[in-house]
Amino acid sequence: MKKLFLISTAVLALTVAHGQTAINQLDQNGKKDGKWLEYLDAKWKVLKDSSHAIYCAYNYYDHGENTFHVSYGKEYRIHKKLETTNSDNKSIGKLKLLDGEYKWLDKKGRTVSVDYFKNGEHIWVKWYFWERLGGYLGFHKKMTGKLWGYYDFTKTYKNQPNTYYMEVYDKNGNTSYYYTRKVDKIGWAAYPISKKELGQ
């Protein structure tokens, strides 16, 4: 309990220092809503408390739903090892605040994804596929390590909160563009956009 209190105090101090809005808020139904500082294990899976955590970073929720679901919980079987390629190793209490570039490798040491954080905020991620993953996002063929996806969490759809930008590349070099956003009666999903909407 003392450890949790100390970390909570450090979070409060960090929030005040950066002039941020309130974090770790619940909606009227007791569900996570808005910006949360999360405790993460070695594979970045969100934990309920800090007792077994190694890392911490900010996450975002829409009435209990994690809108940045691609950011955390590396549970795919190909994510075996994490490399810190460029990090300041900042911390909150005894936890490492994700800051800098992190590379996920498979069991053969090949790059699966590269994530970039700034002061705990997820900025972007690049995904590389080496093997079939059951048709994830429509890909059924071996990708031989080529970059297939790019997520930019700083670009929002019409300034709507919790939305973010995606690019997906096929084996022929064609690019598809998406924004992950919420649509009434459908929910959160990646919705395609045209080059015209991108201003190209």
- What tens digit of pLDDT does each residue of 78-94 get? 677 888 876 666 777 78
Tokens of 175: 């690019």
Phi first, then psi, for residue 198 (nearest 5°) are -80, -10
The alpha-helical segments, DSSP class H, found in the chain are 2-17, 195-198
Least confident of 7-11, 91-95, 108-112, 149-153: 7-11
Cβ contact 155:171 at 8 Å? no
Question: Which of the four pLDDT bands, split at 50, 70 and 90, describes residue 72?
Answer: low
- On the question of pLDDT at 132 being above 60, the answer is no
- On the question of pLDDT at 139 being above 60, the answer is no
Cβ contact 58:121 at 8 Å? yes
- On the question of pLDDT at 138 being above 60, the answer is no
CA distance 106 to 91: 27
CA end-to-end span of the chain: 53
pTM more than 0.85: no
- Give the closest residue to 187 by CA, choosing from 163, 166, 154, 165: 163
* Domain spans in the chain, listed from the N-terminal domain onward: 2-66, 81-198
- What tens digit of pLDDT does each residue of 91-114 get? 777 899 999 999 988 888 888 889
User: Mind giving me the DSSP string for 104-128?
Assistant: EE-TTS-EEEEEEEETTEEEEEEEE
The whole-number pLDDT of residue 137 equals 47
Cβ contact 35:21 at 8 Å? yes
